[in-house]
Amino acid sequence: MAVVDKINSINHARLTLTFVRERTNKVILFYSGGKDSIVLLDMLSFLFDEIHCVFMYFVDDLQHQQHLLSYPKKYGSKVVVHKYPHWMLTTYFRDSYFRFHRIEQNVKLLTLKDIEKHAKNQLGIDWVINGAKQSDSLQRNLMLRRLKFTSINEASQRVYPLSIWSKKDVISYIWTNRLMLPESYGIGKSNGVDLTIDCLLYLKNNYPEDLTKILKIFPFAETILINHADKHIEVPEV
């Protein structure tokens, strides 16, 4: 840990990625189109011959996410994007989350590791790059600090090059290198599509067609918007 503390975030990420490059010329990147994955895509492009971006969608083919999926093309044919359903959908469908109630006994619950395993098998690639950081949460901090260089799990061949980065480091890299800014669903929020009020309001005001697609799959999510509107009704003075 003492060695890691003496180098800055960019050099630490490069050290981590060089370790991987010495073992393979192709990797899988879990790519959400968020700040962390945008930075990683750029850093990987300098070292690897093949970068396979795994994009997990909440609802497929949303208009406002098309630029996130086309952005990797700027790095040429070495980068390929693969779309997979988000693993959380299996829980949502089993539990009829904001959906008409059904007994979904045959739904197999998946985890992120299941998606990772499937991608590895399908693409024939062993090493996976993930954007998790110690600053994300206490749980991630404890997990990452146990790894080699606080960023490499050799047993699972899972790598976290941004382990010691802060949010400020990530934003600075994006601005310095003139990379794409991610979609923001609220002040400082860019965590991807979900059923939170920030995301639903953003889509309602900017991409109503995308909101319609989401409500076709999760029809009762509209109650989130209705409840929000009710709370913000201005009652006229009598």
157 belongs to a structural domain: yes
**Residue whose C-alpha is closest to residue 163's, from 181, 186, 184, 146:** 146
DSSP output for 175-227: HHTTPPPPP-SBTTB---S-SSHHHHHHHHHH-HHHHHHHHHHSGGGHHHHHH
CATH number at residue 113: 3.40.50.620
The count of structural domains within the chain is 1
- At 100 the pLDDT is 86
pLDDT tens per residue, range 183-234: 788 765 556 899 999 999 999 999 999 999 999 999 999 999 999 887 766 5
- CA 221, 223, 228, 233 torsion-angle sign: positive
> Percent of the chain, pLDDT > 70?
91
Alpha carbon distance 41, 43 (integer Å): 6
151 belongs to a structural domain: yes
16 belongs to a structural domain: yes
228 belongs to a structural domain: no
Instruction: List C-alpha distances in Å: 66 to 9, 20, 32, 60, 109.
Output: 30, 30, 12, 10, 28
8 belongs to a structural domain: yes
Work out the widest C-alpha separation in the chain, in whole angstroms.
Answer: 75
Token representation of residue 194? 């979900």
47 belongs to a structural domain: yes
pLDDT at 156 over 70: yes
113 belongs to a structural domain: yes
Strands across the sheet with 128-129, in order?
79-85, 50-57, 26-30, 128-129, 158-159, 152-153
Cβ partners under 8 Å of residue 148, min gap 6:
154
pLDDT at 238 over 80: no
Which residue range forms the structural domain that includes residue 125?
A: 2-182
198 belongs to a structural domain: no
Instruction: List C-alpha distances in Å: 193 to 28, 70, 190, 197.
Output: 22, 17, 9, 11
pLDDT tens per residue, range 104-133: 667 789 999 999 999 999 999 999 999 999
